[in-house]
Amino acid sequence: MDISEPSRTWQDEKYQSLLRNNPTAFAELCERILPHLVEFLRKQFPQQEAHNLEMVAIDVLLKFRAGPEKYDPGKLSLAAYLRMSARSDFLNLLDKNRRREQRLTNIETIGAVPQENPIEDHFALDEWLEQYTNLSRQEVLAALKAEIDPNDIDILMLMIEGVRETPRYAAVMGIADQDESVQRQEVKRAKDRLIKQLQRFGKRISKSN
């Protein structure tokens, strides 16, 4: 397998063929450039798994196929452009994995967030998905609803959407007619209970993804 960089003439010809929608141009480009990109990434990140290197290289080629006009042949060769994209994407992947592992490591401390830093900050839904799972929004909500007490579903929805106002929680809990101090106490108790359930849920889905 030839993993060397093809000649600049060959690269330019394949690029022009892609722009003309030549039906075989992309396959021919991948046949030569994919091994080159994988080897480049292997040298850049020798401790990383081959599967991850290959997936990033493939993704880079697919993104290039979707928008070849973004490449400027007047600035650098096509192979250099793809190497730069591959390195950047792999660094982003490593950073994403590092942040995810850090968040999972800290999952035990979620319930200890001080009052001046509202717990709802941790449960804006998209951020919660990013932290704890690769599941879709619909899959996570379906799984949560299957586990949470039906009486707590509305409270959960407010939490993961980032709602902070006590009266909003009091309304769905049916305690809006109680004193404010009672509302705060009952809302906090309900949140604490749900947070513990979310911690356990987060651990399970992180292990299964």
89: in domain: yes
90: in domain: yes
Same domain for 137 and 200, yes or no, is yes
The reported pLDDT for the residue numbered 160 is: 66
Q: How many CB atoms are closer than 10 A to CB 51?
A: 8
User: Chunked in runs of 10, what are the mean pLDDT values of the chain (209 residues)?
Assistant: 84 93 92 93 90 92 91 90 92 78 50 40 50 59 73 80 84 91 91 78 59
- Our CA angle for 59, 46, 135, nearest 5°, is 40
171 is in which domain, residue-wise?
Answer: 113-208
42: in domain: yes
The reported pLDDT for the residue numbered 95 is: 82
Domain count, the chain: 2
Out of 73, 103, 133, a domain closes at: 103
- Reported for 204-207, long-range contacts at CB under 8 A and 24+ positions apart, including other chains, are 205/132, 205/133, 205/135, 205/140, 205/143, 206/104, 206/107, 206/132, 206/133
Same domain for 48 and 123, yes or no, is no
164: in domain: yes
51: in domain: yes
